[in-house]
Homo-oligomer: A and B are copies of this chain.
Amino acid sequence: METQVKNETLISREQLLAHWQGHRALTRRTIEAFPEKDLFSFSIGGMRTFAELAAELLAIAGPGVVGLATDEWKELDERDQAKGSKEKLLELWDKTTAQIDQYWERIPEGRFQEKLVAFGQYEDQGYCTLLYFIDNEIHHRGQGYVYLRALGIAPPAFWER
């Protein structure tokens, strides 16, 4: 057993999980705000559709929490599994939500400060890896907000989680 660094708690595990899932709940509402057709076809400046961005987020979040818990990493598979169905995309989203809750407690003590190689290619400490997952989702969701505004649709309130 390595000695844990004694330090004040900036954020606890439970709080970090709630923070992540709060962001994911907001992304879910963002997906819901898109008309199905635009979700799978609208984009700006040659970027991906919001469904394609959501497919990336799904590819990261579920396999990511499994990787953090088990240190077994598969290659990223960002293919769109929803195939044009918003209902299917939301179903996949909810499945990942449950998977995160399930695997979160299995993340070993100390993992967030350990070096790991996420998805077999991104070497970083555990906390950087998890924050990257969250930040990447915020980043792409922010882009979805622009798509919605361009479509004349008010996005969900950013501060509600």
Residues of A bordering B, CB below 8 Å: 4-5, 7-13, 15-16, 19, 23, 44-47, 109-110, 112-113, 127-128, 131-132, 135-136, 138-143, 145-152, 158-159
Contacts and interface: CB of A to CB of B under 8 A. Distances in A.
A29 B152 CA distance: 29
Contact of A8 (B44, B46, B109, B159): B109
Contacts of A12: 5, 7, 10
A150 to B, nearest CB: 4
Contact of A16 (B10, B23, B112, B139): B10
A23 B113 CA distance: 20
B145 A44 contact: no
A56 B139 CA distance: 17
Contacts of A132: 159
B9 A7 contact: yes
24 contacts: A4-B8, A5-B9, A9-B112, A9-B113, A10-B11, A10-B112, A10-B113, A10-B127, A11-B11, A23-B135, A44-B146, A45-B149, A45-B151, A45-B152, A47-B146, A47-B149, A135-B135, A136-B158, A138-B138, A138-B139, A139-B145, A139-B158, A142-B143, A146-B147
